[in-house]
Amino acid sequence: MRLLHTMLRVTDLDRSIAFYTEVLGMRLLRRQDYPAGKFTLAFVGYGPEHEQAVIELTHNWDIDHYELGTAFGHIAIGVEDVYAACACIRAAGGNISREAGPMKNGTSILAFVEDPDGYKIELLGR
């Protein structure tokens, strides 16, 4: 068994694809409209789906707002240098919600970014 993908519901698919590809450096792997169901799925990731877990962005055409809820925590992305990653993300227009630095009560270096819909993404030093 292996983890295949994480699904996030997004309100503006093009804006979300731009964030994940242009700000976080992922690739758009595939995109498919489902007119009968009035939704579009787009899969983004750092590598092919048969090799790595990816993110499924789901856009329901008739919905323009979601409640994120209190159960979801975050998606984590491993980076070589958290400080440098934050600088690149900021330069690309990304929102850093927690600046790079040591984890509270720990030594891991991390930061948090938010995507256009407010989903939290942890940048964690390898």
Q: Among 51, 99, 114, 122, which one carries the catalytic annotation?
A: 122
CB contact at 8 A, 45 and 27:
yes
CB contact at 8 A, 58 and 10:
yes
**Does the active-site annotation cover 49?**
no
Cα Rg for the chain, rounded, in angstroms? Answer: 15
Residues with active-site annotation? 122
